[in-house]
Structure 1
Amino acid sequence: MGLRRKNRTEDGTGAVPMPAMPTTRPGAVAVELRGVRRQYGRGSGAVHALAGIDLALPRGSFTAVMGPSGSGKSTFLQCAAGLDRPSAGTVHLGGTEITGMSENKLTALRRTRLGFVFQAFNLLPSLTVEQNVVLPMRLAGHRPDRRKAAEMLTRVGLGDKGRRRPGQLSGGQQQRVAIARALVNEPDVIFADEPTGALDTTTATEVLGLLRSAVDSMGATVVMVTHDPSAAACADRVLFLADGSLVDRIERGSAQQIAARMTTLTAPSYAGAAA
């Protein structure tokens, strides 16, 4: 599956101020956070990992999230994906508010409407590649669809690897399996946490091409945390976090523009927040 990049327009720096996110048509929003705060601890020792996030991301888009260590990137991803509960504010996924959901309902939502890609692949070594791909179907209580699994594996260039075990594949191939697994249920949103962090440059480019193509050819929505400006340049927009706040964004920026913006972000003043 080839990498299809949309034309990028550059305005010199590519950076823009951070006004309120633009209004999006009802039903066109994949991820929406309003006034989201996440605090760990109390009193003088409290850590404000997220300090009030307002954000609406459209369906069928690719968003990268960057920031210095301790800026709140992982906390943002966890709150947006329903893996952690905000201390204040609301989170909507595909029009459904998840903030007050019970843990059982949240688990069911994650299994049926969300996909995840992690740096460490998180494949089960005792299962075959095909069994790993259909695992979300099993967890959601559905009968595994081997045809759909084969289709997804073909999309990521592993159509002939379904019977192998993860340990028989390279790191890049394992990440391709993880992407196929994330796509198999046609989720509302795919959350990717440093998906290229354990890969060499060439393999990382291939994996990013798969995520880009999932957006362009399948209408998927991808939200990716990364530290790599080259990876972020594959996205439609890059959001920059510092001290738990959204401080800037670049639309369709180059790796050079993104790297330059990162250098201007000051180190966070608090300690202990998730990076």
Structure 2
Amino acid sequence: MRGVRREYGRGAAAVHALRGIDLSLPRGSFTAVMGPSGSGKSTFLQCAAGLDVPTAGSVRLGGTEITGMNENALTALRRSRLGFVFQAFNLLPSLTVEQNVLLPMRLAGGGSSRQDRDRAADLLARVGLEGKGRRRPAELSGGQQQRVAIARALVTRPDVVFADEPTGALDTTTAAEVLGLLRSAVDTLGATIVMVTHDPAAAASADQVLFLADGLIADRLPRSSAETVAARMTALTAPAYAGAAA
């Protein structure tokens, strides 16, 4: 991302969601993005993933300039080179677990070969769901559904997986297991993950934590404990709270 700005509205009423983001992330890295409400986290993720168009600046994915791509090209890019994991799982209830995992491949015109099905089976085994490919999402726990979503995000061997609050709907133990899977995807599969989270324990799984404030990268930490991340987050938000209290 180079000089990425995103404004909504015009004139005095304009909202400056991103005020100039410069960021380069290496392949095979795990980055957590944190910040107070309204800091620009969601806009950051949407612009980075080609889901929203920056007002200014450029976004490159593995050498491909995605800023200015038409919607058809962006759709094809998202299906083949990006993976997504959301808080709400977003599995299709009418499809089996295997069919949900293969969905990105099917949308891209594949997903039916023996090789593709073997790929899905391998990923399901990696996330602890071996033998559950014929089940429906409703037959699985929340944690298991999120594991399916992770397998789906990885099935096309994407350049980047974007995870938006992936542990937000899970209990502490299950969340830790899901974070372990994301960490393992980076360490053993060479995945690149960008995760927006409000949870310091989740951010502690990442190689680095970026802190957004008022549309800018206000701070960053290398891999740190949850306590260190929480302390930095508190320091970042304290002036705002102090101003509000005053």
TM-score above 0.5? yes
1:67-86 mapped onto 2 (5 Å cutoff): 67-86=35-54
- The equivalent of 2:7 in structure 1 is 39
| Alignment partners' CA distance in 2, 1:170 and 1:256 | 29
Q: Superposed, which structure 2 residues align to 1:120-131 within 5 Å? A: 120-131=88-99
Structure 1 residue 135 and structure 2 residue 103: aligned? yes
CA distance in 2, matches of 1:90, 1:215: 26
Residue 207 of structure 1 corresponds to: 178
| Alpha carbons 2:30, 2:183 under 8 Å: kept | yes
Aligned with residue 256 of structure 1, among 224, 227, 231: 227
Q: How far apart are the structure 2 equivalents of 1:261 and 1:116? A: 27
Q: 1:243-269, CA deviations, whole angstroms, 9 ceiling, x for partnerless residues?
A: 000010000111111000111123798
2:192 matched to 1:228?
A: no
| CA distance, structure 1, for counterparts of residue 38 and residue 161 of structure 2 | 23
Q: Is the 8 A contact 1:38 1:51 kept in 2?
A: yes
| TM superposition shift of 1:207 | 0.2
Distance 2:83 2:196 in 1: 14
- CA deviations on 1:30-75 (whole Å, 9 max, x unpaired) are xxx0000000000111000000000000000000000000000010
Change (3 A) 1:73 1:50: same
* Unpaired segments ≥5 residues, structure 2: 241-246
Match of 1:242 in 2: 213
Q: Which has the higher helix share?
A: 2
Q: How do residues 98-113 of structure 1 correspond to structure 2 at under 5 angstroms?
A: 98-113=66-81
Distance 2:89 2:130 in 1: 18
Instruction: Determine if the alignment matches structure 1 residue 62 to structure 2 residue 33.
Output: no
CA contact (8 A) 2:103 2:111 kept: no
Aligned residues of 2:111 and 2:117 also touching (Cα < 8 A) = no
Q: Calculate the aligned-residue CA RMSD, in Å.
A: 1.1
Alpha-carbon separation, structure 2, partners of 1:94 and 1:254: 30
- Return the letter of the residue paired with 1:126: S
* Counterpart in the other structure of 2:244: none
Moved over 6 A (4+): none
Amino acid of the residue matched to residue 123 of structure 1?
L
Determine the C-alpha separation between the residues in 2 that align with 1:76 and 1:217.
27
> Match for 1:119: what amino acid?
Q
The alpha-carbon deviation at position 217 of structure 1 amounts to 0.3
Task: Supply the distance in 1 between the matched residues of 2:132 and 2:15 (Cα, whole angstroms).
Answer: 45
Is 1:242–1:268's contact at 8 Å kept on the other side of the alignment? no
Alpha-carbon offset, residue 143 of structure 1: 3.6
Structure 1 unaligned regions, length at least 5: 1-32, 270-275
Fraction of identical pairs, as percent: 80
Q: Paired residues, what number?
A: 237
Q: Matched residues in 2 for 1:76 and 1:154: separation?
A: 32
Whole-angstrom CA distance in 1 between matches of 2:223 and 2:176: 17
TM-score, reference length from structure 2: 0.95
The offset of 1:195, in angstroms, is 0.1
Alignment of 1:4-19 (within 5 A): none
Q: Is the 8 A contact 2:211 2:218 kept in 1?
A: yes
Q: What displacement does 1:160 show?
A: 1.3
